[in-house]
Every structure is written in C-alpha cells, then in structure tokens.
Amino acid sequence: MGKFVIKTTATGVKFDLKAGNGEVIATSEVYKSDDACKNGIESVRKCCEGGIEDQTVEGYETVKHPKFEVYLDKKGEYRFRLKARNGEIIATGEGYKSKASCMNGIESIKKNAPEAEVVEE
C-alpha cells in the first residue's frame, strides 16, 4: 500500500507519494503550510481518477481537467503531471526512458493515492 510522505523543506512543506515498494511515484510543489500541503494531498486523491492526455503523439486529443498530461522533457524523457480541476499542477512524476514506464507510474498513482496513508517525516 502506498503512502503520502510530508516533508519540511527550507522553503516550506511538500509531499511525495510513495508506492508500496518505497519508490517515489509523484512529488508536489512546495507549499507554505502543513494545511495547504494536506489540501494538496486531498486534491491528488480526488483528481487521480482523471483521464490521460498523451501530448507525445501528434494531433493528441485534449482531455478536460482533472487529467494526467504525458509529455517529453528537454532530455527526451517521458514525464507526467497531474492537473486539478482548475488546471493547476498538483503532482509531477520523474523522467522515464520509456512511455510504458511513465504510464505505469500513472497507473500506480491511480491505484495507490485513494487509500494511501499520510505520514510526516
């Protein structure tokens, strides 16, 4: 079972969503407060059932928010970002060498986020 890990940084508070094996599958922005970070977690829980917009294919179909956007970064790696209903980015994934691995990351969020416990480090 996955878990949201809340961490204090030099500039605020952020969370990582970790899969059952401990791997980080998504990271948040840095929030100004604990409460704002926890609201971000709830947003991920609600929005992780959104569709997937694959921006790596020509003429891709636009999907309404909430959604995962799959794209290629400057290094040519596949990445995703989860956008809330208001279009704000609420979580991002790491760079993946293959699109299949990126899609697996999204599936892992869909599976883990709804029931993941919240812990503070």
Pairwise CA distance, residues 32 & 101, whole Å: 32
Which domains, and CATH codes, for the chain?
Answer: 3-120 (2.30.29.80)
Q: What is the mean pLDDT of each run of 10 residues along the chain (121 residues)?
A: 95 96 95 96 95 97 97 97 96 97 96 95 88
Structure tokens at 7: 């961490």
pLDDT of 1 reads 83
